[in-house]
Structure 1
C-alpha cells in the first residue's frame, strides 16, 4: 500500500478533476471511503453507514428498498474509469472501488510497484484503534514452531482421504512452475469479478430448522452467529430451496436442527447432492447456560468448517474440489509439514487463483503468510521475497474482507515478524473477536498472549479453548500449563501437563518436571530427571538458549530456569 500522504494527494487530484466537477455526490462519497479506510475504519464501509454519513439518510434507511448507495457507487466507479482513461492516465497512484465492496484499493501505475512500496509504508490498525505504525524490515528470530502456531494452523489434522486426494493432484513427478516474487499479481487482474463468484468456490452451508420448538430456534440463532464468522465456508442462513441432489453441486451442505421438545436438539450435517450424513449429534439445550451451549457449538463448528475439518474431507472424498479448495488443502498440508516443495506448489496454486477471474480475501491471507514463511526459511524459489510484499498481500486481504478473521490474523502474523508486536497483537485480537466460535483461533490468540507475558489475559482464553474442544493438539495444553504456572495455579497446571506424558519432547518434559517439583512430587521428579538426562541431552546442555530462541518472556524463562535448577536438572552455578 502506498503511504497515506500519496493516497491523499491522489484523492485530491481526482476530486479536483474535470471528470468529477459536476458530481458533488461522487466527490463526497470518494472522500468518505478513502478517509474512513485510512483511519482504519474499513469495517464501517457498509451501505447503511454510507447512506447515513454521506447522503443524510435517517435511522430508518433500508438498503433493500433504497438503492441510493448502490447507484452512487456505480456512478463513482464509472467516473473513476473515465478519469484514469483521460486526465489521470499518468497518475502514479490510482484509487479503485472494486465491485462487491465499498473498500477502496490503491494501485500503482506500475504493476510491480503496487506491491513493492518502501518498507516504511504505513499500516492501519484494526478499526477500533485508528492509529498508524510503520513496518520495520527486521524479521523476528522466533523459531519456526512458534511462527506457524501463531498463524493458527494445526488445530485438527486432515483426514487421511484428503492427503490421498491431494497427493493425486500433485503427483510425485509433477514439475512445479518456478515462482518469483516479481510475479506477484497486479491488482487490476485480480479484480475481474466480485465476491459472489468466490462464494461458489467454497463449500456452502445451509441451515434448516425442522419443527418449531424453542430449543431448536435457540440453537439456530447460535449456529447463525457461529457459521457467519468462518471464512472457509459460504454460509447461507436459510434452508435450501430443494434437497434434491440434482439441483445442488457436491460442495453444498445443510445443517438440520430438529427437536420435538424443548430439551434436546438433534443436529445433522448432510451433503445435499449425495445425501451422505457427515455428522449426527444430540445437544441438550434446556436449563443450560448460554455460554455452555455456545462452547459446544464452537467445538462442533471447529471440527467441521476449517480446512482440516470433516467438511473439506467430504469434498475431497467426493472429488468435488474447486480451484480454491484445492489450494487451501495444499496450504494446510504445507503447514503440517513445512518444506520447499510443498511451499512452492501451494504458492503457485494460490497465485494462479488470484491472477484469474476471481478475488478472494482468504487467498490473499494465505499468500501473505506463505510469503513470510519464504523469508524465514529462505526458500530459493521465492528468494526475492520481502516484508513489503507480504504486507501488500495482507492489506489486500483486509480490503477484500474488512470483517474477515483470517484477513486480520494474516495482518497480525505479518506484523508479528517485524518490530511492531503491539500492532500485531491488536490485529490478532480483532481476528479473535470477529469469530469467537473458532477454537483454533482462540487457542492461537491465548497462546500468543501468554508468550507476550499477558498471563492473566491469555490463560482464560486458552483454557476455554482446551475445555470446549473435544480434540486438540498438545501445544494447547503446554501453553495453558505455562500460563497457569505463572498464575500459581499449580494443580491446574499439573492437570494440563498430564496430557503431555506420552511425548518425548524436551520442553514438555521440562515443564512437567517444573510442575512436579513445585508441587513437591519427589518420585515424579526423579523419574522425569532420568528421562530428560537420557533422552534430551541437547536441551540439558543449553535450556536457557532454548527458551530464548523460542522468545519466552523473561519472567517465565527465569521461573523455569530456577525450578529446573532446584529440581536438580542443572548445576546451581
Structure 2
C-alpha cells in the first residue's frame, strides 16, 4: 500500500490480511455517497486525493505542500507556516470521517482514517459486531519492537530513582487529598443516587492503565498516568468522571459487566504502557459502553532521556484529555450523534449544551434564538446548573455585541450576561466555562484588566481547554497584543480544530492588523461563517486592502444587509471591543476605504 499507515490492531483474528485496493475504493465510495459524510467539496477532494495516492504507492508524497498544490490549487511558493489551509481542512476531514463512522458507518467492513501527525490515510478492517467475550480485548496494538532497540536493556540508575520519587510524590498527594480535580469527581449518596446540580452530561470511566512490560517502572508509569488522566479530565466540567476509588477497584482487564450499573457510565477510556531503556509508549482508546465500539485510538511516544518524568506524564495525560474531553472532542461528538436521534422538540437540559456548541461553530441568529430559549428552560429547571448559566451568559452577550434577537424591556443584555456569568462562578468557582463567560462579559463591560486576571486563572486551572484558549486569545488580540493572541489561537487550532472557522476568522483579522495581507486573505477564505455578520465586515476590509475589489464589494453589501445600523455608532462598537487608539484609527480608515458609511 505504498507506506500508508495500515493499522492491523483493528483486524479480527480470522482476517489478518490487509484491505485490498478494490475493498478500499468500495469503502471510499460508500463514505462519499453517504449523507452522514458532511463535508464540503474541497474536503471530499482532499479525501479522494490522499486515498488514491496511497493506493498508487505514493503515500510518502502525501505532504502539506503536495496537497496544497494538487488539491487546493496553491502556487509553488506555498509555505505551510503562513498558510494553514491543509492543517485546517485535515481537521475538518478527520471530524467528518469520525461523524460518518459514528452514524452511518458503524457496520462498514473497512475503516478509512487520517491519523494525526501526517496526512497519509490509514486503512483497516473493522469489527462489524461487538466482541462476545465478557472481557474486552487488550487495547494495544500487536507487540512491536521495543523502543530504543539495541540500547541498554535496563533503565539508567537515575531513571529508577526519579520514577520512585514520582511514585512517592503521587502517593503522598493522594494520601493528603491534594491531587486536584479527580478525587471523588463523581460522588454517590447512599443508595447510589447522584448528587448533582443539573442534568447528567456524558459520563466516562477511566480504566486503570495496564503495564505490558511487567516491570516495576512500567507499573509506576501506569499508575501515574491513570491518576493524571483522571485529574485532567475532571477539569472539564461538562464531563462526568467516575471517581478514583471506583476506578481503583477495577482491574485493567475488567469488562463492562464489572462496572456498577448505577454509575451510568457511557464511555470507557483505557490505555496501556510499555517502557524500554529510554522510551515510553502509551496506547489509549475510548469505547462506547453498550457496544464496545472503538470511537478513538491513539499512540503517544516519549523520550525518557530528558529526565523530566513528571512533565512527560502530565503532557501525555493533557494530550489525552484535550482530545477526548473538549467541547468539540471525541466524547461530545459521539453524544451529539445520540442527540441527533432524539425528537426535534426535545429540550432536555443536557441537549442544550450540545446545541450551544453547535451554535458557537456557526454563530447564526437563527440558532441563537433556539439555544437561548433552551438554556433559559434548563436553568429554570436546574437553578444550580453552573455550566448552563455560563452558556446563557454568552447568549445574552451576543444579543448586545452581534445584535442577535435582542429582547425588549428588562435589564440590558450586557447586564444579564454579566450577572449570569457571576452566578455560574458563584455556583462553582472552578468551572472553566463560568470563568470564561465572566472574563468575556467583563471584557465587554470595559474592564479588560479584570477580565484578563480571570482569564489567566482559568487558563492555569485547565491549559488544555481549547474553547477557553480560543476565547482568551481573541480578547488578548483585540486589546492590542496581537502576537500573543495569535499564538493562543494557533495553539487552540493545533490542539483541536473543532471550531476552526472562528479561529481562522480571528487569525485573519490579526494578520490584517499586522499588515500581512496575503495571509489575511488565505485565512478569511477558510473561515466558513457565512451566517455571522461580522465575518462579512472583516472579509470586506481584507479583500479591498488586497485589491480584490469585487469580493470586497460582495462582502460589504452582505454585511450592510445584515447589520444596516452598525455604523451609527461605529467608534462605540470598536471601543466596546477594547481596540486601542492606534488600532481604532486603522480600522476606521480601512472601513472607509472598503466603502462602508463611516460617519
Normalised-by-shorter TM-score class: 0.5 to 0.7
1 or 2 for the larger relative contact order (CA 8 Å, sep ≥6)? 1
Q: 2:272 aligns with which of 236, 251, 258?
A: 258
* 1:405 aligns to 2:432 (yes or no): yes
Residue number in structure 2 paired with 1:343: 372
* Unmatched tracts of structure 2, length 5 or more: 1-94, 104-188
SS in 1 for 2:382: helix
Residue number in structure 1 paired with 2:386: 361
Whether the aligned pair in 2 keeps the contact of 1:305 and 1:312 (CA below 8 Å) is: no
Whether the aligned pair in 2 keeps the contact of 1:387 and 1:414 (CA below 8 Å) is: yes
Residue number in structure 2 paired with 1:113: none
**Mapping of residues 24-423 of structure 1, within 5 Å:** 196-198=195-197, 201-208=200-207, 209-211=209-211, 214=218, 220=226, 223-236=229-242, 238=244, 239=247, 241=250, 243-245=255-257, 247-248=260-261, 251-261=265-275, 262-286=279-303, 293=316, 296-297=319-320, 299-301=322-324, 303=326, 309-313=332-336, 316=339, 324-332=349-357, 337-354=366-383, 359-370=384-395, 372=397, 383=410, 391-423=418-450
> C-alpha distance in 2, partners of 1:386/1:539?
22
SS in 1 for 2:287: strand
Cα pair distance change 1:493/1:536, threshold 3 Å: closer
Residue 475 of structure 1: CA displacement?
Answer: 2.3
SS in 1 for 2:200: coil
Cα pair distance change 1:338/1:313, threshold 3 Å: closer
Whether the aligned pair in 1 keeps the contact of 2:470 and 2:489 (CA below 8 Å) is: yes
Residue 278 of structure 1: CA displacement?
Answer: 2.0
> C-alpha distance in 1, partners of 2:359/2:530?
23
> C-alpha distance in 2, partners of 1:310/1:533?
37
* 1:533 aligns to 2:546 (yes or no): no
Bigger shift: 324-333 or 428-437? 324-333
Cα pair distance change 1:468/1:332, threshold 3 Å: closer
> C-alpha distance in 2, partners of 1:304/1:555?
36
> C-alpha distance in 2, partners of 1:445/1:270?
32
> C-alpha distance in 1, partners of 2:347/2:101?
16
> C-alpha distance in 2, partners of 1:304/1:420?
27
Whether the aligned pair in 2 keeps the contact of 1:529 and 1:569 (CA below 8 Å) is: no
| Coordinate RMSD, CA, aligned | 5.0
Residue 371 of structure 1: CA displacement?
Answer: 5.1
TM-score, structure 1 as length reference = 0.52
Query: 1:395-449 deviations in whole A, cap 9, x for unaligned?
Result: 3422331222122123234434434343333323322332211112101110111
> C-alpha distance in 2, partners of 1:465/1:544?
32
Query: 1:219-259 deviations in whole A, cap 9, x for unaligned?
Result: 55653443122110122364373532573365432211124
Aligned residues: 375
Whether the aligned pair in 1 keeps the contact of 2:349 and 2:374 (CA below 8 Å) is: no
